[in-house]
Homo-oligomer: A and B are copies of this chain.
Amino acid sequence: MTPRSDARPARAIVSDVRPRVEDGRYDAKTVVGDAVEVSADAFADGHDLLRVEIHYRKVGARGWRTEPMSALVNDRWVGSFTPSDCGRYEFNVTARIDYFASWARDLTVRIGAGQDVSIELLVGAELVRPAANRAKRADHNRLATVADDLTAGQVPSPDQLADESLAALVARHSGGTPTTSPTYRVRAERVRARFSTWYELFPRSTSPRRGQHGTFADVTKRLGYLDELGIDVLYLPPIHPIGTTARKGRNGATKAKSADIGSPWAIGLPAGGHTAIHPQLGALSDLSELIDAAAGRGIEIALDLAFQCSPDHPWVTEHPEWFKHRPDGSIRYAENPPKRYEDIYPIDFETDNWRELWEALRDVVKFWIGHGIKVFRVDNPHTKAFGFWEWLIPTIQADDGDVIFLAEAFTRPRVMQWLAKIGFTQSYTYFTWRTAKWELEQYLAELTTTDVADYFRPNFWPNTPDILTEQLQHGNRQTFMTRALLAGTLAASYGVYGPVFELCVRAPRSEGSEEYLDSEKYQLGQLDLSDKVSIAPFLRQLNTIRHQQAALQHNATLAFHYVDNDQLMVYSKTAAGVAASDADRSAVLVIANLDSTHAQSGWVDLDLGKLGISPADPYVVHDLLNDAHYEWKGSRNFVILDPATRPGHIFRIEPGTSGATEPARAASPAKKKARR
């Protein structure tokens, strides 16, 4: 019946701290140099003012650092801290009564009302004196002077009463225990985790000689083309030996012909599995040369982690206990009843020998890291145990903090979100199928304005080897450009599967199927990169702009603006919170025409506040795609877009003629992408 705690409970309350993933069980995500915005409810009984702060440190560091928070509205406080290194940071929010600031506020009112404040001055002295006594040197001197003046009955000036530095100083030396929230964590990664431009190609399709199996050396020769495109990450489907048992034929035929080369995802022959290289691609040394040559151009090679085996994989004989067996002794092949995938044996993550298995899979990842790979695209992670990823990813990142994992999970929302929570760096998304304005806006709002944004980094792909969407099948060249424009400006990370994408290949295997006709998954697919249909010039421009404009390199500031035409989409981003770099920090405004056949026009109603524009000032929208400049004023402006000319505008917002002069480092669309 006695009050339970030994100390009197602190009066301030801290609640609903963000970012906080699964009540603090998992890390939120950020990148080095970006401001981590922390917010919380903080309040107390009565009318006293609060002092609210973020305390943070790198996990393992000794001292905590402090950043102030300020009141937003409705008892919500906000502040930020900026991680300087890769790794995990921990933070909490503290709140305490600010007795001095409350006293100063009240004293100001009392003085204004002409009240006798002589006793109140002594009250103030009683607040400042103990702080002065605790403080050292300059702080002590300043506080002691204030206390002396108050004791002497000297009424402080309005400036002194409103002086935040004085209130902070008194608070700092006032002792007492603040209310402290639970401690939460955020993981700081390298910038590529947030901003990346991907390209997927099948190495075996890269030979310049028709019908010949491509090699890593061929891929190396294509780096010039890819570099011109402006990509960061070149993702290769599995590069391992391909099983022969129940090998799939062209267009997924159940029975392969003798010349069929099989699917790269049917991994393993007795000669080698997940750490072996398909002999026709070359040797490990060829891969190393590709990795080095790519690195010279600022491109990273990403490999595919497809944790499954062909029936010919060495593990099938060496570790049969890593697979599910049926009562007749056979190993259970992949199925989605009634469909059977007899060329694939799923790995049994529930095996009694799970420890050995998990460690072997970890060793596959470490093998490739040892050979210079830092980026992995993970095939169907949602069909493997979550517990495995939750263990694997931090285990890998504890040694190599810059390894990136992209989750290829096209599945239900909660499952995709969970994979991101437990550690995946980036995730494929539903963008692939989102085509209407309302559904794009709704989906982006979920990805960028809800707590999903704290841990889930979307990577937008208009196509993949498994997904040729109905929209692309029935579209035209403009459709491909529009999808690239949307992917590359809505999301900081996006990718295309080429060269079918830039060459606007759009024939499906059959009506109603999302499979490509003559898919490279089962055969070579050699295309003429110089075909005039290619939208490579547009991708080049788009990616150049993405590299030049910091605003396009994150998602946090994405805002949609009204336009009175559902075929037009208007959205903007600013560079607020993005780490300093040599990129231009102007606001960017995109106007996309979703109609790839007809010109569309409409009145745009901009939310000028989101763009940092004062309603009274004229401003220039400078189209980075064609260098056109338009002088706009106010929120309402007219736009017209003809798909025959371009899929949209990517406007850089610049000061108007009556404003300041244009910044010296104006973007020029022809400029080469910035190297990072």
Contacts and interface: CB of A to CB of B under 8 A. Distances in A.
A384 B45 contact: yes
A328 interface: yes
Interface in A1-34: 1-4, 8-11, 13, 15, 22-24
A113 interface: yes
B338 A387 contact: no
Nearest to A97: B350
Nearest to A109: B337
B109 A11 contact: no
A45 B412 contact: no
Contact of A412 (B74, B328, B391): B74
Interface of A: 1-4, 8-11, 13, 15, 22-24, 41, 43-47, 74-75, 106, 109-110, 112-113, 115, 119, 122-123, 125-126, 182, 326-328, 330, 335-338, 349-350, 354-355, 358-359, 362, 382-388, 390-391, 395, 412-415, 418
Contact of A122 (B41, B113, B327, B395): B327
Nearest to A421: B15
A8 to B, nearest CB: 5
Contacts of A125: 327
A388 B115 CA distance: 33
A418 B15 contact: yes
Nearest to A112: B338
Contact of A385 (B45, B74, B123, B126): B45
Contact of A362 (B1, B13, B15): B1
Nearest to A126: B327
Contacts of A383: 45-47
Contacts of A9: 385-388, 390-391
Which of A3, A9, A415: most chain B CB closer than 10 A?
A3
Nearest to A15: B22
Contacts of A337: 106, 109-110, 113
A8 B413 contact: no
Contacts of A335: 106
A147 to B, nearest CB: 13
A305 to B, nearest CB: 15
What are the 8 tightest A-B residue pairs by CB atom distance, in nearest-first order? A9-B387, A113-B338, A122-B327, A75-B414, A109-B337, A23-B23, A106-B337, A8-B354
Given A10-B387, A337-B113, A382-B45, A359 B2 contact: yes
A394 B385 CA distance: 42
Contacts of A109: 337-338
Contacts of A11: 349-350, 385-387
Given A2-B359, A44-B386, A45-B349, 12 more contacts: A1-B395, A4-B391, A9-B388, A11-B387, A13-B418, A45-B383, A45-B384, A46-B383, A112-B338, A122-B327, A122-B328, A125-B327
A370 to B, nearest CB: 15
A433 B46 CA distance: 22
Contacts of A13: 386, 418
Nearest to A422: B13
Contacts of A391: 3-4, 9
A145 B414 CA distance: 39
A74 B414 contact: yes
Nearest to A182: B23
A573 to B, nearest CB: 29
A395 to B, nearest CB: 6
A418 B43 contact: yes
A413 B74 contact: yes
A24 B413 CA distance: 25
30 contacts: A1-B362, A1-B395, A3-B355, A3-B358, A3-B359, A3-B391, A8-B354, A9-B387, A9-B390, A10-B387, A11-B349, A11-B350, A11-B387, A13-B386, A15-B414, A23-B23, A23-B24, A43-B418, A45-B384, A45-B386, A47-B336, A75-B415, A106-B337, A109-B338, A112-B338, A115-B338, A119-B327, A122-B326, A122-B328, A126-B327
Nearest to A151: B327
Given A22-B15, A115-B338, A354-B8, A43 B122 contact: no
A41 B27 CA distance: 19
A3 B351 CA distance: 14
A122 B47 CA distance: 72
A410 to B, nearest CB: 14
Nearest to A121: B327
A321 to B, nearest CB: 14
A43 B328 CA distance: 31
A412 B42 CA distance: 12
A336 B102 CA distance: 12
Nearest to A392: B3
A356 to B, nearest CB: 10
A386 B395 CA distance: 43
Contacts of A115: 338
A123 B418 contact: no
Contacts of A327: 119, 122-123, 125-126
A112 B113 CA distance: 87
A603 to B, nearest CB: 27
A109 B337 CA distance: 6
Nearest to A1: B395
Contacts of A395: 1
A117 to B, nearest CB: 10
A346 to B, nearest CB: 9
Contacts of A46: 382-383
A337 B11 CA distance: 21
A414 B328 contact: no
A595 to B, nearest CB: 31
A336 to B, nearest CB: 7
Contacts of A390: 9
A477 to B, nearest CB: 37
